[in-house]
Amino acid sequence: MLTIGKLGQAAGVKVPTVRYYEQIGLLPEPERSTGNQRLYPRAALDRLAFIRHARELGFPLEAIRDLLSLSDKPDQPCTAADAIAKAQLQAVRARLSRLKALEMELERMVTQCAHGAISDCRVIEVLGDHGQCAHPHHDSAGEP
Amino acid sequence: MLTIGKLGQAAGVKVPTVRYYEQIGLLPEPERSTGNQRLYPRAALDRLAFIRHARELGFPLEAIRDLLSLSDKPDQPCTAADAIAKAQLQAVRARLSRLKALEMELERMVTQCAHGAISDCRVIEVLGDHGQCAHPHHDSAGEP
DNA sequence: CCTTGAACCTATAGTTGCTAGAGACATTAG
DNA sequence: CTAATGTCTCTAGCAACTATAGGTTCAAGG
């Protein structure tokens, strides 16, 4: 049996985060010691590592919830898991192309900066004047 | 003078967001009509467009606050503005390289999926077993 | 046995950048 | 004049944690 600290360390997840995952129902409530401290079996480590790895890949917790419930039914076809992963890949690619555009514009801003007075600063100028920039501005916020 | 709706529309920012920017001090409190509605001068549009554009480039609001206060002092050197933009460029590049790694791993997961049962699913398997994946896992969360 | 210090407990609030809702007042078009 | 928008304030909610406060339990050393 592992205490929450050992579990967190083994999985690379901070202790408050483990408790948070329990609170939102991603991890089942473990047994408690006589002194009311959480005690986890080995299996909890697998589950937590799964969550952590999926989070590292950028899956939102809701998707992870679905993936976990899928992994509990090994006999079903994996179409759903595949779909979730594909959606995540799409989302990542969308962010990538957006970030590349941002990178180009920031690069332009920074390299064109003459390091003079604010009044001549390309950085401020480009930010203030939409017309000066190349990128499309299709959507609203900086990053989804 | 513009009402908040016109202003928002002209700058491409939603009305509650404009009020939010006012609340956190990014936009000054405007005059009010006799009926207590906000009335903005043209200059407010420039400022709001500046904010919006900077947000689109992913600048955090705190950085925008700094950039705005810089743009109010046109005689100072633009070193600070330059530094903020460079930091943002760095942040964007860091996210780019991270996202590229994620893309590769997700791609691998998805293309290797044999579309059979969950028990044979590469997606689930790779998520569950750290050792199967190529990417480094240096930092903790999916995206900063 | 006692004490110390680390690890644990609960509960609450804060973070970022908005967005949504409720319920009331203002403005404007027909 | 009325109906339809638009606007007002205030509160609460989203993701996914992180931090803080104030208390309890555990493991080791003396």
Tell me how crowded residue A97 is: count the other CB atoms within 10 A of its CB: 10
Residue B54 belongs to domain with CATH number: 1.10.1660.10
Q: Are A140 and B57 in contact (CB under 8 A)?
A: no
Q: Which of B18, B41, B71 is at the close of a domain? A: B71
Does residue B44 carry a pLDDT above 70? yes
Question: How many domains is chain B built from?
Answer: 2
Is there a contact between B34 and A82 (Cβ–Cβ < 8 Å)? no
Nucleotides of D under 7 A from a protein CB: 6-10, 15-20, 24-26
A55 and A13 within one domain:
yes
Q: Which residues in window 62-121 of A are less than 7 A from strand C by Cβ?
A: none
Last residue of a domain, one of B30, B53, B71: B71
CA B53 to C1' D9, whole Å: 28
In a domain, B142, yes or no: no
Instruction: Tell me the residue type at A107.
Output: E
pLDDT at residue number B132: 61
For residues B56 and B99, membership in a common domain is answered with no
Residues B59 and B86 in one domain: no
Q: Encode pLDDT of A50-106 as tens digits.
A: 999 889 888 889 989 988 888 888 777 888 888 888 888 888 898 888 888 888 888
Amino acid A130: pLDDT? 63
pLDDT band at A7 (very low <50, low <70, confident <90, very high): very high
Q: How far is CA B21 from the centre of its chain?
A: 15
H or E stretch covering B39 = strand B38-39
With beta carbons less than 8 A apart as the criterion, state whether A19 and A4 touch.
yes
- B43 and B63: one domain? yes
Is residue B30, in this structure, part of any structural domain at all? yes
Residues A88 and A54 in one domain: no
CA distance A128 to A114: 17
Check whether residue A5 has its CB closer than 7 Å to nucleic acid strand C: yes
| ipTM, interface predicted TM-score of the complex | 0.74
Task: Tell me the C-alpha distance between B78 and B67, whole Å.
Answer: 10
Asked if residue A66 is part of any domain, the answer here is: no
Kindly state whether residues B65 and B87 are assigned to the same domain: no
Given pLDDT bands bounded at 50, 70 and 90, which one contains residue B138? Answer: very low
Tokens of A40: 């986890």
Residue A137 domain-assigned (yes or no): no
Using the 3D structure, point to which of B38, B71, B104 is the last residue of a domain: B71
When pLDDT is cut at 50, 70 and 90, the band that residue A41 belongs to is very high
What is the distance of C-alpha B22 from the center of its chain?
18
Tell whether A83 and A128 lie within a shared domain.
Answer: yes
Range of the domain at B50: 4-71
Look at B57 and A110 and tell me if their CB atoms are within 8 Å.
no
**Measured at the alpha carbon of residue B46, what is the angle toward residues B44 and B52, in degrees to the nearest 5?**
100
Say if residue A14 is in the same domain as residue A55: yes
User: Which of the residue ranges A118-132, B14-28, B56-70, B85-99 would you say has the lowest mean pLDDT?
Assistant: A118-132
Residue B62 lies in a domain: yes
Domain assignment present for residue A54? The answer is yes
